[in-house]
Amino acid sequence: MTEGPQQPQLRRDPITSQWVILAAGRGKRPHAPGGAGAGGGQGGSCPFCEGRESETPPEISACRQGEGCDCPGWTIRVFPNKFPILANIPPEPGGSGDPPVQQMPAAGFHEVIVDSPEHAVTPWETGAGQVLAMLETYRERITALRGRGDIKYVHIIRNHGAGGAASLEHPHSQLFALPFIPAAVETELDGFASARPGEAACVLCDLLQEEERSGERVVDANADFVAFAPFASRLPYELWIVPRRHQQSFDGCDCLESMAELMTVVLNRYGERLDDPPFNYWIHTYPLQGESRPYHWHLELVPRLTIPGGLELGAGVWVNTVAPEAAAAAIRG
Ligand SMILES: [Zn+2]
Ligand SMILES: [Zn+2]
Ligand SMILES: [Zn+2]
């Protein structure tokens, strides 16, 4: 029996054209789901805690007062993932073989953004200032990677709680710099183009207008952003945070303070009203390369309260058991 490649590899499904990342080495990473006992608390065995900087790969960037690198005193720290699903090497143009067995090295970058120095305190529990520092770090990293010219898409996510697939409890986000545009974003790009073909108008701007008009699914809003449970939510308590002004890319956003304020309120309410549910959020933004197409960036947040079954995984048909109108009312209070 062969074990397959130890280096991360991309393999392309010949029917759907979707890329799959094969990352066999990642099975060796430490797990401390929930954190209880295993790595819990400052001074435990958690490699993301302040004072244990030598246990992670060297820092790419950090927010810290004063001088230094890979030492305590930071509020945000960014470093390459020690167990990456991408090879942390630049993509190289080149062949990937022919269908039905196309493959290539999983070139790209997988970074960890530790966005709280406190092991058991999330950025939104610390406050809007910490959430702003986190969002500014996201923006800086995308801007830096956009400048390279060899990355096609940067996907930034948060996995919160063991049920949200977080392998370590210490609050952190992750960044995936990919050599391809992910299928979910391609589908959205096609959707933006076909919803209002040939027009300057934008379907997400239209949806925002409608959500604000009806108000039944709006959770909260401020001058620059609206948080709402989308009309066709896939999952119970799914929430989107969308800039009011039409903006193609997250890294072009100049009102992150407003976003930090809204995110802080919304995430704290999630914890209170839904009893600290496991969740994932991700930012959908415009690709780093390619011709200009209509797009409006946004953040999607999904609590992981249900397990997708055969209909969801096999047919891509989502069954939502909580009406978005009721979800919005519950989170709004
Ligand atoms: Zn920790
Ligand atoms: Zn728009
Ligand atoms: Zn989206």
pLDDT tens readout for residues 156-189? 999 999 899 988 999 999 999 999 999 999 999 9
User: Which ligand is nearest to the Cα of residue 43, counting in written order?
Assistant: 1
How far apart, in whole angstroms, are the C-alpha atoms of residue 139 and residue 148? Answer: 15
Those residues whose beta carbon sits under 5 angstroms from the ion ligand 3 are 284
Q: From the CA of 44, how far away is ligand 1's center (Å)? A: 7
Q: From the CA of 188, how far away is ligand 3's center (Å)? A: 7
How far apart, in whole angstroms, are the C-alpha atoms of residue 297 and residue 121? Answer: 28
Q: Which residues participate in catalysis according to the annotation?
A: 172
How far apart, in whole angstroms, are the C-alpha atoms of residue 16 and residue 211? Answer: 33
CB 275 within 8 A of CB 325: no
Q: From the CA of 258, how far away is ligand 2's center (Å)? A: 18
User: Which ligand is nearest to the Cα of residue 285, counting in written order?
Assistant: 3
Q: Could you give the C-alpha distances from 49 to 15, 39, 119, 128, 168, in angstroms and in order?
A: 44, 9, 6, 21, 11
pLDDT of 53 > 70? The answer is yes
Residue among 44, 57, 45, 35 at smallest CA distance from 112: 57
Q: Which are the contacts of 326, defined by CB distance < 8 A and separation ≥ 6?
A: none
Instruction: Please return the burial class of 136, using the count of CB atoms within 10 Å of its CB with bins 0-12, 13-18 and 19+.
Output: middle
Per-residue confidence band for 34, with pLDDT thresholds at 50, 70 and 90: very low
Q: From the CA of 295, how far away is ligand 2's center (Å)? A: 7
pLDDT of 19 > 60? The answer is yes
List the structure tokens of 261. 């304020």
Residues 56, 76, 171: CA angle, nearest 5 degrees: 75
User: Which ligand is nearest to the Cα of residue 204, counting in written order?
Assistant: 2
Q: Is the bond preceding residue 100 a cis peptide, omega within 30 degrees?
A: yes
CB 108 within 8 A of CB 86: yes
Q: What pLDDT is attached to residue 40? A: 47
Across 206-229, average pLDDT: 96
Per-residue confidence band for 333, with pLDDT thresholds at 50, 70 and 90: confident
Per-residue confidence band for 201, with pLDDT thresholds at 50, 70 and 90: confident
Q: From the CA of 135, how far away is ligand 2's center (Å)? A: 21
Q: From the CA of 69, how far away is ligand 3's center (Å)? A: 36
User: Which ligand is nearest to the Cα of residue 299, counting in written order?
Assistant: 3
User: Which ligand is nearest to the Cα of residue 183, counting in written order?
Assistant: 3
How far apart, in whole angstroms, are the C-alpha atoms of residue 9 and residue 104? Answer: 6
Q: From the CA of 176, how far away is ligand 1's center (Å)? A: 22
56-70 pLDDT per residue, tens: 999 999 999 889 999
Q: From the CA of 185, how far away is ligand 3's center (Å)? A: 7
Q: From the CA of 264, how far away is ligand 1's center (Å)? A: 21
Q: From the CA of 197, how far away is ligand 1's center (Å)? A: 49
Instruction: Please return the burial class of 112, using the count of CB atoms within 10 Å of its CB with bins 0-12, 13-18 and 19+.
Output: buried
CATH 3.90.600.10 fits 190-279+292-332, yes or no: no
* Dihedral-angle region of residue 149 (phi above 0 means left; psi in -120 to 50 means alpha; beta otherwise): left
Provide the strand spans (E) within the chain.
Answer: 9-12, 19-22, 61-64, 74-80, 102-105, 109-114, 153-160, 172-178, 218-221, 225-228, 239-243, 279-284, 298-303
Q: From the CA of 129, how far away is ligand 2's center (Å)? A: 27
Domain range list for the chain? 190-279+292-332
Across 200-210, average pLDDT: 91
Residue type present at position 173: S
Q: Which are the contacts of 140, defined by CB distance < 8 A and separation ≥ 6?
A: 61
User: Which ligand is nearest to the Cα of residue 41, counting in written order?
Assistant: 1
Task: Report pTM.
Answer: 0.93
Per-residue confidence band for 38, with pLDDT thresholds at 50, 70 and 90: very low
237-274 pLDDT per residue, tens: 999 999 999 999 999 999 999 999 999 999 999 999 99
CB 293 within 8 A of CB 189: yes
Q: What pLDDT is attached to residue 35? A: 40
Tally of CB atoms within 10 A around 153: 22
